[in-house]
A and B are shown apart, each in its own frame.
Chain A
Amino acid sequence: MSMNKRSKRKLLVVMVLLGVALATVLGLTAFEENLLYFYSPTMVKNGEAPAERSFRAGGLVVAGSVERASDSLLVKFDITDNEETMRVEYSGILPDLFREGQGIVAMGAFNDKNVFVATEVLAKHDENYMPPEVASALKAAEQNK
């Protein structure tokens, strides 16, 4: 009887360990799949950005580059790190503080026509705010000049 109890306790410990191990494995897999890397327009131009998976790109919205479709919510604009620019396409409502010259971060991937299509556009809610990624991308581009 006591042997039985002890083996039951052992079984419980083993099951808990297995559970935690399983959660860790699944967690790390999900983690790896959902890591989003940040690329500046220069890095994208250099072909460093992945072709198949989502990533984040950021820069300043180029003045005069914002084009809207007349019959849908499609909008196209360029972002720049003052060195290179890249085109972003987005269909939907832009954040309140999206405007020319503002630093933004777009999350998305290249489609089969090699156009970067954003699923989300982030502009932080402070007009003086610059996303840190964009700030460092601008700095890096400045140093490379």
Chain B
Amino acid sequence: MIPELGLFALIIAFGIAIVQGVVPLVGAARNDATMIALARPAAWAQMLFVSIAYAALTYSFVVHDFSVLYVSQHSNLVQPLMYRISGVWGSHEGSMLLWALILSIWTTAVSIYSRGLPNVLMARVLSVMALISVGFYAFMLWTSNPFERIFPVPADGNALNPLLQDPGLAMHPPMLYMGYVGFSVAFAFAVAALLGGKLDATWARWSRPWTTVAWSFLTFGIALGSWWAYNELGWGGWWFWDPVENASFMPWLVGTALIHSLASTEKRGVFKSWTVLLAILAFSMSLLGTFIVRSGVLVSVHAFATDPARGVFILIFLCVVIGSSLALYAWRSGTVVSTGRFTWFSRETALLLNNIILLTATAAVFVGTMYPLVVDALGIGKISVGRPYFDTMFALVSIPLILLLGIGPVMRWKNDSSERIIKSLSIVFAISLSLGIVLPFIVDGVLNIATGLGLAGALWIAITTVQIFYQRIKAGSRMPLSFLGMILAHLGMAAFVAGVTMVMTYNQEKDVRLEPGSTYELSGYEFKFNGVKNVTGPNYEAQEGHLEVFDQGEKIADLHPQKRAYSAMGNPMPMTEASVDTRLMRDLYAAMGEPLGDTAWSLRLYYKPMISWIWLGCLMMTVGGVLAVSDRRYRQKRS
């Protein structure tokens, strides 16, 4: 009964979305106040019904209703409540429902928090968002109904993939989707503005906070996924250039370009049509990300769907959304005139360069991710692009980006003098470059230019950022939250660069064979293996190893890595649970391999210097984004 209710609610939400997508849009064209006024209540009604559908599916999971195919595929009787709730988005059908729910949450949020918008613009924005919803509802109803029943009803279900049974990963998809879908707001504003032919600085002011919030969620979501991969996959890496990761990284890169270009458009009235194009591109990348992750074209743990009908549907949807918005852009953007004037040496130019670099990076990721898919689709062969390609590209792109990150924020709008910039930054440049190169030499005794440049880059960003912060304090000028947000996010970037550089250079890893009682030394740390015991968890049996770590004879950590076997119908599913001792300056990491002989085990040991700085940096960027949108000027404009 409840699943049918859910399906029914989904169909009603679909109907409402069609009305919300068409009527206010027609009303805006005809200037019909009644039709325009329909947008808001329709958005709320749609939210109500998609929430009912979502609740129905969650309920089915909670009460173990295995008559629902999706529930029986992704949960079983022993699965803890938390992973039954997160099981809803553990696979294809449910994650599409989550997508639709989140889109509807964003739509409702826009209808509530943007009350100051002119009615016509609001109607257009809500309509555009509803049209995207229509696509997702249709996708679910025609190809991936989460409420499909099975008969006979199985006594127990198939467990959720054990990889997904982790708190970090449970939160990863919702955060990521909040980011992906959040870019639909900027997209809807851009399309609405193009339809209305009115693209001014207010348009940028309206879109800006929404874009920043979406970007913060996306940053946090990607960081969670990376942190999870580090802890769960047992490979000790934090980024694999897997197509799935790239799928979330491309919207992030374009989104980062977008928030910087929105700043120029809002403050100076420049790059208007460019910003609109970026808004379209950012959401297109989100849709593309959803497509390549969910359509089953990828060799990946994320690719659940193998039904070609789904792939075709999303591909058509993608073409319609991207194609029509780009056509609209081509038709209307000619009327947009950027008003601000600036010289070649100004903050506007710096932000434009930032955009060019970020889009170059996006293009590099795009080629590396999509080329194998295209080649495969054309039947030419099965290829993949190796990690060194991406590493090389990013090393290349990060040099100008890091340089610019130090210079841009110091520059003045409109026009600045190169003499002033050189005067204020040359000392910082010399200090960071020499410190960056000398520091690893002192600690390590080896001159490593790549490491030196990486650390110099981190220092350069950090010192220049602190410098502008300090200058503001000294001048006694007002410090809005948006400025503090920028400072924190840029410092996060410095921490990130430092972490990446240190891990890439000084990372030590070793697969070893250890007998109980034997030791292995890695980077000056002595790992002593004390053998394995059996442990029983709520829905798994595990063999838990015990390692003691000694630093110059003194015990500093106990590690308890596990090899788990999750109970499932048929074969138990094996799963490696790594054990990590985290300190600010280093991680010690152990993962179980397999038993070798009677008592010996293969173990994977790692020493990872400053790896937590990578996630710390991401967290700082996230909080920076949140600070920026908390700025008073966005709240004042609302009333």
- Spell out A's residues near B (CB within 8 Å): 5, 8-9, 11-12, 16, 19-20, 23, 26-27, 30-31, 33-38, 54, 56, 68, 70-73, 91-94, 96-97, 105, 124-127, 131-133, 136
Contact = CB atoms under 8 A, between A and B. Distances in A.
B571 to A, nearest CB: 6
B389 A34 contact: yes
Given A23-B360, A71-B513, A132-B299, A38 B571 contact: no
B600 to A, nearest CB: 9
A35 B344 contact: no
Interface of B: 161-163, 234, 299-301, 343-345, 349, 353, 356, 360, 364, 367-368, 371, 381-389, 392-393, 396-397, 400, 511-513, 570-571, 573-576, 591, 593-594, 596-597, 602, 604
Interface centre among B388, B512, B513, B571 (most CB of A within 10 A): B513
Nearest to A137: B382
A112 B389 CA distance: 25
A36 B381 CA distance: 11
B386 A73 contact: no
B301 A12 contact: no
30 contacts: A5-B344, A9-B343, A12-B349, A23-B360, A23-B364, A27-B364, A27-B389, A27-B396, A30-B389, A30-B392, A31-B385, A35-B383, A36-B385, A36-B386, A70-B597, A71-B513, A72-B513, A73-B512, A73-B596, A91-B511, A92-B511, A93-B593, A96-B575, A105-B299, A125-B162, A125-B163, A126-B161, A127-B573, A133-B299, A133-B382
Contact of A125 (B161, B397, B602): B161
Given A93-B511, A136-B382, A126 B301 contact: yes
Contacts of A73: 511-513, 593, 596, 602
Contacts of A93: 234, 511, 591, 593-594, 602, 604
Contacts of B381: 37-38
A37 B360 contact: no
B383 A94 contact: no
A131 B393 contact: no
Given A38-B382, A72-B513, A30 B393 contact: yes
B360 A20 contact: yes
Given A68-B596, A136-B382, A19 B367 contact: no
B384 A56 contact: yes
B367 A9 contact: no
Contacts of A33: 388-389
B360 A31 contact: no
Contacts of A94: 593-594
Contact of B388 (A5, A34, A70): A34
Given A37-B383, A93-B602, A31 B574 contact: no
Contact of B299 (A9, A23, A70, A131): A131
Contacts of B385: 31, 34-36
B345 A8 contact: yes
B399 to A, nearest CB: 10
A33 B327 CA distance: 37
Contacts of A105: 299
A145 to B, nearest CB: 21
Given A30-B393, A126-B301, 13 more contacts: A5-B343, A12-B349, A38-B381, A54-B386, A73-B596, A73-B602, A93-B234, A96-B574, A96-B575, A105-B299, A124-B299, A125-B162, A126-B161
A32 to B, nearest CB: 9
Contacts of A136: 382
Nearest to A39: B382
B382 A34 contact: no
Nearest to B604: A93
B356 A36 contact: no
Contacts of B393: 23, 26-27, 30
By Cβ-Cβ distance, the 4 closest A-B pairs, closest first, are: A34-B386, A93-B593, A38-B382, A34-B389
